[in-house]
């Protein structure tokens, strides 16, 4: 699970591991973020017309670099 998660959230996983978090804590800290990030990167929300039409679990606190990755993916579509 951790290696799959790292494929999506490499920067976040590497940061947590460098800061001494165990794999278990790292997984717990990043699991939902990776799910939401993967959905955004896959284009699941590319044709949403307003925030109110987004599913409840489509948002998660992410840093500016992560949202930048998502925006770049959208611009390439």
Could you report the per-residue pLDDT of 56-70, keeping only the tens digit for each? 778 888 889 988 999
Range 36-45, long-range pairs (CB < 8 A, 24+ positions): 36/60, 36/62, 37/8, 37/9, 37/62, 37/66, 37/69, 37/70, 38/8, 40/70, 40/73, 41/8, 41/69, 41/70, 41/73, 43/73, 43/74, 43/77
What residue spans define the domains of the chain?
Answer: 1-76
Per-residue confidence (pLDDT) for residue 58, from 0 to 100: 82
Look at residue 68 in the predicted model and tell me its pLDDT. Answer: 92
Residue pLDDT, tens place only, 1-59? 778 888 899 999 999 999 999 999 999 999 988 988 999 999 998 888 888 888 877 88
What pLDDT sits at residue 62? 87
Residue 22 pLDDT:
94
């Amino acid at each position: 699970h951790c290696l799959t998660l790292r494929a999506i959230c490499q920067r976040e996983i590497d940061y947590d591991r460098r800061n001494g978090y165990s794999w278990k804590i790292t997984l717990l800290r990043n699991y939902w973020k990776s799910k939401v990030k993967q959905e955004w990167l896959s284009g699941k929300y590319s044709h949403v017309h307003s925030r109110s039409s987004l599913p409840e679990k489509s948002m998660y606190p992410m840093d500016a670099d992560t949202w930048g990755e998502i925006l770049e993916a959208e611009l390439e579509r």
